[in-house]
Amino acid sequence: MFRSDRMGMPDGLAVIGPGDAGYERVRSTAMRAGSPALVLQPVDVAQVRAALAVARRRGVAVGLRSGGHGISGRSTNDGGVVIDLSRMNRIEVLSERDRLVRVQAGARWKDVAAALAPYGWALSSGDYGGVGVGGLATAGGLGYLAREHGLTIDHVRGASVVLADGSVVRAGADADPDLWWAIRGAGANFGIVTSFDFEVDDVGDVGFGRFVLDATDTAGVIARWGAAMEAAPRDVTTNLIIVPGPDGRLAATIMGVVNSAEPDVVAERFAPLLRAGPLLQQTVRHLPYAQVMDNTGDRPEKVATGEPISRSGLIEHLTPEFSTVAHQFARSGATYFFQFRAAGGAVADVDPGATAYPHRSANFQVGAFGNSHRELGAAWEPMEAHFRGLYLSFDSDLRPERIAQAWPPKTLARLRELKLRYDPGNVFRDNFDLIPPA
Ligand SMILES: Cc1cc2nc3c(=O)[nH]c(=O)nc-3n(C[C@H](O)[C@H](O)[C@H](O)COP(=O)(O)OP(=O)(O)OC[C@H]3O[C@@H](n4cnc5c(N)ncnc54)[C@H](O)[C@@H]3O)c2cc1C
């Protein structure tokens, strides 16, 4: 990096640019290749403010990065500034009595799970341990404890936020409730959340199952798994993934958790799901939730070399009609990974207006990855009529009309009104931008 690029940098702030040792490691994320002009790695709130001031002075795109797993890939860019919170990863217990913990945005979910395990606690998060806290806890957070304990955002009791003008504010029920509402579903548009206060749950050992089914009858597998999930008690949450097997035939993997340490309960809960199709393989383990989340392996973190290509939608029921078009999509050749995630249960207990994640009645999240935007979009289209909303965390399609799918008119109107109050200059726009193009 040129000496001139360092001029005006705040003392002590870690600055990495092209040509620096370490640039290759930070320029791209797990999902998207990038070449930012600067990656700034603050270690505290004062440095986050300083980093934001640097980005604002330059007037370039600002990427916010916590764990670098954002599927839209906006935590890197080309020629802009990235504010990378990975060094802010502290996890501390605030109150053992109230099960209240403070987690900085740069922590990873596997570390959160490991830190809570000695207390017999867990926090409903996503299901991959390498994902960062900041991106997931400002968007939703749909994982293996969702049907029993809700989304991650449903556990946020307060947050510390650096706003676009550099001010540091606290958001919570009694401190700035409007901001608290907005950052639970649309956080990326409102500021840099540096830490979250979460109320966590008592969770001990769980049953973790992985089952492979023949999916020759893809439509039948999808519809039967969906019906079984909706009928299941809340302590079970699973995903269904459809992928081509080595012989070209489609296989379905059901993976998920029964939140019980009792082997009989675990077996009883999984049994109806396995009737979705002919069972080819099964593994069930009884282990602490933290071990389920310790799933990133020892290999170095994945670094993307291209652009992410994914589509997603939320749906209430996996009806036979929907399952038939999903079957055709699975066979279209446009996707190499097609996934259904169960929601419902505690997710649906929350009033749709209580947070900026309104689609509480969706029992399923559907998502797919592909190699071509055009091919994936065309094959995906016939399913669109069945969707009732969008969880942006699984989407890479940034077209403005997607915003209206993510947020219904009332929610979107409130978000836009608050956006003008908290970020009138639209500094935080380099993701799913709430402000329509002029
Ligand atoms: C392998 C994999 C598995 C996943 N599994 C799940 C899952 O089970 N459930 C689920 O709900 N999601 C899941 N996701 C999606 C994931 O939750 C989102 O992509 C999330 O945004 C990633 O967070 P991050 O901090 O790692 O990402 P980053 O790339 O660092 O950030 C993503 C975006 O979030 C915003 N952001 C990041 N940090 C902050 C902050 N501190 N303040 C404000 N905005 C911020 C920025 O706009 C940024 O572009 C998965 C993603 C991957 C790649």
pLDDT in tens, the chain (438 residues): 555 466 667 889 999 999 999 999 999 999 999 999 999 999 999 999 999 999 999 999 999 999 999 999 999 999 999 999 999 999 999 999 999 999 999 999 999 999 999 999 999 999 999 999 999 999 999 999 999 999 999 999 999 999 999 999 999 999 999 999 999 999 999 999 999 999 999 999 999 999 999 999 999 999 999 999 999 999 999 999 998 776 778 999 999 999 999 999 999 999 999 999 999 999 999 999 999 999 998 777 888 999 999 999 999 999 999 999 999 999 999 999 999 999 999 999 999 999 999 999 999 999 999 999 999 999 999 999 999 999 999 999 999 999 999 999 999 999 999 999 999 999 999 999 999 887
Q: Give domain status of residue 102, yes or no.
A: yes
Measured CA to CA, the distance from residue 66 to residue 64 in angstroms comes to 7
**Mutual angle of helices 263-274 and 218-231, in 10-degree steps:** 140
CA distances from 6 to 9, 14, 37, 126, 384 (A): 6, 10, 11, 37, 48
41 and 75 together in one domain: yes
Distance 70 CA to ligand 1 centre (A): 4
Measured CA to CA, the distance from residue 382 to residue 110 in angstroms comes to 37
Give me the DSSP letters along 279-340.
EEEEEEEEEEHHHHH--S-SSPPP--SS---EEEEEES---HHHHHHHHHHHTSSSEEEEEE
Domain final residue, candidates 182, 202, 222:
202
* Burial readout 291-323 (b: 16 or more C-beta within 10 A, e: otherwise): bbbbeeeeeeeebbeeebbbbbbbbbbbeeebb
Q: Give domain status of residue 49, yes or no.
A: yes
Q: Which pair of structure tokens corresponds to residue 351?
A: 């009033």
Measured CA to CA, the distance from residue 180 to residue 350 in angstroms comes to 15
Q: Is 42 in the pocket of ligand 1 (CB under 6 A)?
A: no
95 and 198 together in one domain: yes
Q: Is 159 in the pocket of ligand 1 (CB under 6 A)?
A: no
Residue 139: CATH number of its domain: 3.30.465.10
* Burial readout 9-24 (b: 16 or more C-beta within 10 A, e: otherwise): eeeebbbbbeeeeeee
70 and 111 together in one domain: no
**Full residue range of the structural domain in which residue 127 is found:** 91-202
Domain final residue, candidates 37, 63, 84:
84
* Ligand 1 atom nearest 192 alpha carbon: 42
Residue 214: DSSP 8-state? E
Q: Is 49 in the pocket of ligand 1 (CB under 6 A)?
A: no
Q: Give domain status of residue 389, yes or no.
A: yes
Do residues 13 and 50 lie in contact, with contact meaning Cβ atoms separated by under 8 Å?
Answer: yes
From 102, 108, 125, 136, the mutation candidate for ligand 1 (largest count of ligand atoms within 8 A of CB) is 136
Query: Which residue's alpha carbon is nearest to atom 36 within ligand 1?
Result: 135
Query: Which residue's alpha carbon is nearest to atom 6 within ligand 1?
Result: 126
Distance 277 CA to ligand 1 centre (A): 32
Tally the domains of the chain.
4
316 and 381 together in one domain: yes
Q: Which pair of structure tokens corresponds to residue 409?
A: 């008119």
Q: Is 308 in the pocket of ligand 1 (CB under 6 A)?
A: no
111 and 170 together in one domain: yes
* Ligand 1 atom nearest 75 alpha carbon: 49
Q: Which pair of structure tokens corresponds to residue 408?
A: 């219904």
Give me the DSSP letters along 248-281.
S-EEEEEEEEE--S-HHHHHHHHHHHHTTS-EEE
Distance 334 CA to ligand 1 centre (A): 24
Q: Give domain status of residue 419, yes or no.
A: no
3-state secondary structure of 94: strand
Query: Which residue's alpha carbon is nearest to atom 51 within ligand 1?
Result: 69
Distance 138 CA to ligand 1 centre (A): 8
